[in-house]
Structure 1
Amino acid sequence: MLKNLFKKSEEQTREEESKEEQESTPEEGQSPASSQEEETPGEGVTLGGLFGRLKEGLTKTKKGITDRVDDMVKSYTKIDEDLFEELEEILITADLGVNTTMEIIDQLRDRVRENKTTDPMEVKGLLKELLTEALEEVADPNLNLETTPSVIMVVGVNGVGKTTSIGKIAHKLKGEGKKVLLAAGDTFRAGAIDQLKIWGERSGIDVISHQEGSDPAAVVYDAIQAAKSRKVDVLICDTAGRLHNKKNLMNELGKVFKIVNRECDGLSRESLLVLDATTGQNAIQQAKIFKEVTNISGLVLTKLDGTAKGGIVISVSKELKVPVKLIGVGEKLEDLQSFEPKTFVEALFD
């Protein structure tokens, strides 16, 4: 019955999957230099400032989890089964998922018993510990960029913020002194190529592209050759995301990754899956489909600032056994942050 909390109608799912990406690019007529997001990451942004932005971005999730836990424990005078059941409901509605929630609650019971905890007010601290441990099980925030070039393949359905994430990752890497090249491998979505070119112009990064509707594998092949010849540090490739046509998507991505496997043998590679945090448990189903095509090495969770159900961060990494590499907590360039479990949970519970 609890699983019905996450069930969506086929019609709703088709509507979500067929939406074209409506991602943030500079408005028409607005120069890249004048864009609100053009602030360079790290420029005037301290570590404390980044933590503050993370806290601000997690405000809705905090209200959905920690604030509710605060109110709940205050209403109890002892730790009993009613407390555990109410906490279970809080975690499920925050999109931790049924399986992850049940596991966390079982661990909490054990921790309470082991520590001989009797004060309900101490439950929040124990929950914080367990959530951190759950995330650290598969934590690996660093991108594998050891070779020249290194290749980052970015996949995800239309509408999740894939191209915007690519632009922000590229800007971040260039700010770290790396030579970056972009490949416009999503040749099917209207405007995708132009959108990536705008991001490239904003950061002074070249984009390898073909005409709209051309073979994505050919684009990626040309980009790999260009990256090698130009001594590029990192090549980031966009890909198609037409999940509503699963068979064609699988075929298209299969061809692209076959080229990458052949041409990038011995090179450092990442396959990042971009997921929209606001879609909740539906994001896990998307991830499973993409895992049929390639070994996903990391997750990018966008739009966390737009949902009270940020528990998806915990459930998606735990269920898929894939680390969250980056999270998006706002529209500014520095709002796409490297994911550190302790920092994330600290911001959530602070």
Structure 2
Amino acid sequence: MDYTIVAVAIFVLALLVVGGAFLIRPRRPQEPRPPRAGGPGQGDQGASGATAVAEREEAEAGPVAVAEPAAPVEPPPAAVPIETPPPSAGRLVRLRARLARSQNVFGRGLLDLLSSDRLDEDAWDEIEDTLITADVGVTSAAQIVQGLRTRVKVLGSRTPEEVRELLRQELIAQINPELDRTVLTGPHGERPGVVMVVGVNGTGKTTTTGKLARVLVGDGRSVVLGAADTFRAAAADQLETWGSRVGAPVVRKDEGADPASVAFDAVARGLADGVDTVIIDTAGRLHTKVGLMDELGKVKRVVEKQSQVDEVLLVLDATTGQNGLRQARVFAEAVNVTGIVLTKLDGTAKGGIIIQVQRELGVPVKLVGLGEGPDDLAPFDAEEFVDAVLRTD
């Protein structure tokens, strides 16, 4: 036996055993090495390599949710401060200077004519024309002139003080201070007083409704407003603004709703809340539209199913003159108008419309508007009005 061959075989076998053990030994995990700084080709991983690794890891992880910025929180709207309007008493006195400015041409012209050295037929004709120009009306102007001629003839002398007093007495007599100008707004037991405000477009009807609410609140009354003008989109919003200032709730519905149903709900709200007065603002309808005038009568009938209507106030624009008088006649035929609100009286010298409209309708002027301020609506007083017209200072 060849021992040399055996030795070689054993040596080869030992090498195989040792090599196999080495090959199947598990490899120790290597710690990741930080990338080396530098550009591409410097070290094992440059900046581009790091970017690639980051992009690969981001792709494997999926999209990352990004929190959206929180919407800014708006502060709640500031509450409208409740105002305390001045009472109705003395309002016309406070506004007399404004009235005197607008009627100065009317009053001053009459006083100058009456104080002239000669009062012949031409002078009396001119006095009558001045009265007619101021919208006093032909019949009333003739009566005033006749009364003045008689008094001047009896009196004999015509000092400025005497002339002024003569004219004052004649104008007051024509305006008729004996008419009851009380605006009926008080409750009837548990039922509120109900006031309807009517008139054509552009006379200041909705504004008058809001100002009347201020007058009543200033006198200590509680009020609910009914936005029954559902044809004009801005009317209800306008009324909301007026009501919010004095704490008066507004009953309203969508544009185009039945005005009678709004009026009915407003009175129901007044009954439920136990308020003193409900004021209903109706649509500004053209007096030539017969159907719309009939609808106004419907509103009144529906309201009366719950409570009587105490006042139907017709709002007239003093600057429209004879056209305003025609409007008054048509409204008086549609509903029982109980009082006139004459707006924009500070913007015209034709204050004689007060005399004419009362004579034609037999309805008193109860309120006058003398400006655009919130408290420029005043109860009408015949003597205060005439004194303002004839004011000389």
Report TM bin, short chain. 0.7 to 0.9
Number of aligned residues: 311
Q: Is the aligned partner of 1:188 residue 2:231?
A: yes
AA of the residue aligned to 1:311: G
AA of the residue aligned to 2:362: K
Q: Would you say the 8 A contact 1:185–1:238 is kept in 2?
A: yes
Residue number among 351, 358, 366 corresponding to 1:310 in the alignment: 351
Shift of 1:212: 0.8
Residues 1:205 and 1:103: Cα distance change in structure 2 (over 3 Å): same
Structure 1 residue runs without a partner (length 5+): 1-28
Q: Is the aligned partner of 1:285 residue 2:326?
A: yes
Residue number among 54, 62, 70 corresponding to 2:104 in the alignment: 62
Give matches, 1:256-267, under 5 Å.
256-265=299-308
Residue number among 57, 74, 92 corresponding to 2:132 in the alignment: 92
Deviations 1:283-334 (A, max 9, x none): 1100001001111111100001111111112211122211111101112233
AA of the residue aligned to 2:86: P
Residue 215 (structure 1) aligns with: 258
AA of the residue aligned to 2:273: R
Supply the distance in 1 between the matched residues of 2:363 and 2:130 (Cα, whole angstroms). 24
Shift of 1:39: 7.4
Residue 272 (structure 1) aligns with: 313
AA of the residue aligned to 1:346: D
CA RMSD, aligned part only? 2.5
Residue 337 (structure 2) aligns with: 296
Shift of 1:123: 3.7
**What TM-score do you get using the length of structure 1 for normalisation?**
0.82
Q: Is the aligned partner of 1:321 residue 2:353?
A: no
AA of the residue aligned to 1:40: P
Residue 164 (structure 1) aligns with: 207
Residues 1:244 and 1:30: Cα distance change in structure 2 (over 3 Å): farther
Supply the distance in 1 between the matched residues of 2:268 and 2:277 (Cα, whole angstroms). 13
Counterpart of 2:341 in 1: which secondary structure? Answer: strand
Supply the distance in 1 between the matched residues of 2:156 and 2:225 (Cα, whole angstroms). 54
Supply the distance in 2 between the matched residues of 1:66 and 1:32 (Cα, whole angstroms). 43
Q: Would you say the 8 A contact 1:241–1:249 is kept in 2?
A: no
Shift of 1:59: 1.0
Residues 1:140 and 1:32: Cα distance change in structure 2 (over 3 Å): farther
Shift of 1:118: 4.5
Give matches, 1:106-185, under 5 Å.
106-113=146-153, 115-119=154-158, 121=160, 122-136=162-176, 139-146=179-186, 147=188, 148-185=191-228
Residue 339 (structure 1) aligns with: 380
Residue number among 200, 222, 237 corresponding to 2:280 in the alignment: 237
Supply the distance in 2 between the matched residues of 1:46 and 1:175 (Cα, whole angstroms). 10
Residue number among 248, 268, 292 corresponding to 1:225 in the alignment: 268
Shift of 1:106: 2.3
Residue 142 (structure 2) aligns with: 102
Counterpart of 1:333 in 2: which secondary structure? Answer: coil
**What TM-score do you get using the length of structure 2 for normalisation?**
0.73
Shift of 1:161: 0.6
Q: Would you say the 8 A contact 1:317–1:324 is kept in 2?
A: yes
Shift of 1:120: 7.3
Shift of 1:111: 3.2
Supply the distance in 2 between the matched residues of 1:283 and 1:313 (Cα, whole angstroms). 11
Residue 18 (structure 1) aligns with: none
Q: Would you say the 8 A contact 2:229–2:259 is kept in 1?
A: yes
Q: Would you say the 8 A contact 2:99–2:389 is kept in 1?
A: no
Q: Would you say the 8 A contact 2:210–2:239 is kept in 1?
A: yes
Shift of 1:117: 3.4
Counterpart of 1:101 in 2: which secondary structure? Answer: helix
Structure 2 residue runs without a partner (length 5+): 1-76
Counterpart of 1:258 in 2: which secondary structure? Answer: helix
Q: Would you say the 8 A contact 2:196–2:313 is kept in 1?
A: yes
Supply the distance in 1 between the matched residues of 2:255 and 2:194 (Cα, whole angstroms). 23
Q: Which has the larger radius of gyration?
A: 2
Deviations 1:115-167 (A, max 9, x none): 34343744432121011112125622211234240000100111001111111
Residues 1:46 and 1:218: Cα distance change in structure 2 (over 3 Å): closer
Supply the distance in 1 between the matched residues of 2:208 and 2:236 (Cα, whole angstroms). 14
Supply the distance in 1 between the matched residues of 2:130 and 2:383 (Cα, whole angstroms). 21
Q: Would you say the 8 A contact 2:287–2:327 is kept in 1?
A: no
Residues 1:224 and 1:39: Cα distance change in structure 2 (over 3 Å): closer
Supply the distance in 2 between the matched residues of 1:31 and 1:88 (Cα, whole angstroms). 56
